[in-house]
Amino acid sequence: MSEFAYKYGFIGMGNMGFAMLKGLLQATPAESLTFSARNREKMAKVEAETGVHPASSNLECAKSSKYLILAVKPQQYDTVIGEIREVVSADQVILSIAPGITIEDLGKRFGKPVRVVRAMPNTPALVGEGMTGVSFEEDQFSEKERADIREFFCSFGRMEIVGENLMNAVVCASGSSPAYIYMIIEALADSVVKYGLPRASAYQMVAQTVLGSAKMVLETGKHPGELKDQVCSPGGTTIAGVSALEEYGLRNALIKASDACYEKCTRVK
């Protein structure tokens, strides 16, 4: 019997905490989960929607959870750690999802031996299609804990273990990039509303196309360039569009987005 009342405890229940919680609930009973945040009204709403009981405080959440997920903004880390430091023990596992905060840095902030898993999930976790890059020192965790860590992240999508030196790149690849994809969906929809397609149809057609195209990459294993070529009939409509995208710098715009995102990761405090 575990000494902890809950298997997973979330501190912070905003966009990312809630997305992970909802995904997790597909595979985990509500009774094994808890959470804390600041706003009592919002917490009551989450409880009503999910059946997950909130803890009375961050301290209570930290004390009672085997796996403690820090789902607050990086700027809140020191406040939260200050509140929970005394009750966190090396028997627990801290899951940190903030960009730019290293495992070593987190250890220093706790000022005592803690075991940390550093991860970068994304909001599609809400619909079970998350993508999480995960980094941890394997030998610090038991076989059961490693299985639990995998089960946690897989409950709301795919996960891949990466070296910690690649975590900033993961932020660019999957943590932040859903925002870019939504911008592309919005812009592409605008571009066809211009030609008379009703807005609702435009979002549905474009979003389903993004979903289908992503599935093609994941399930055929073909190079994205090859899949693109299959759409481009010689002298056809698509190559005319592709040519315009090259002229206006789509590829370079995305590369520059990752440069800016990566650079920002190195400056998170």
Ligand X SMILES: NC(=O)C1=CN([C@@H]2O[C@H](COP(=O)(O)OP(=O)(O)OC[C@H]3O[C@@H](n4cnc5c(N)ncnc54)[C@H](OP(=O)(O)O)[C@@H]3O)[C@@H](O)[C@H]2O)C=CC1
* Assigned token pair, 111: 């000022």
Residue in the block written with tokens 């750690």: 81
Using the CB atoms, write b or e for 25-39: b if 16+ within 10 Å. beebeeebbbbbbee
Single residue of 152, 176, 189, 202 touching ligand A1CAB by CB under 6 A: 176
Report in angstroms how near the CB of residue 125 gets to ligand X at its nearest.
Answer: 9
Does residue 131 have a known ligand-binding role?
no
The CA radius of gyration of the chain, in Å to the nearest whole number, is 21
Single residue of 12, 23, 99, 157 touching ligand A1CAB by CB under 6 A: 99
Does residue 62 have a known ligand-binding role?
no
- Rounded to 5 degrees, φ, ψ at 116 are -120, 135
Does residue 212 have a known ligand-binding role?
no
Q: Tell me if 58 contacts ligand X by CB under 6 A.
A: yes
Single residue of 34, 65, 92, 122 touching ligand X by CB under 6 A: 122
Report in angstroms how near the CB of residue 197 gets to ligand X at its nearest.
Answer: 29
d(C-alpha 52, C-alpha 21), whole Å: 9
Does residue 15 have a known ligand-binding role?
yes
Report in angstroms how near the CB of residue 217 gets to ligand A1CAB at its nearest.
Answer: 22
Single residue of 9, 130, 133, 175 touching ligand A1CAB by CB under 6 A: 175
Q: Among residues 175 and 206, whose Cβ is nearest to ligand X? A: 175
Q: Tell me if 157 contacts ligand A1CAB by CB under 6 A.
A: no
If one counts every other C-beta atom within 10 angstroms of the C-beta of residue 242, the result is 15
Q: How far is CA 181 from CA 103, 207, 209, in A?
A: 29, 9, 12
d(C-alpha 247, C-alpha 106), whole Å: 45
d(C-alpha 248, C-alpha 184), whole Å: 14
Report in angstroms how near the CB of residue 12 gets to ligand A1CAB at its nearest.
Answer: 12
Q: Tell me if 174 contacts ligand A1CAB by CB under 6 A.
A: no
Q: Residue numbers of the site for ligand X (CB under 6 A)?
A: 11-17, 36-39, 42, 58, 71-74, 76, 79-80, 97-99, 120-123, 175
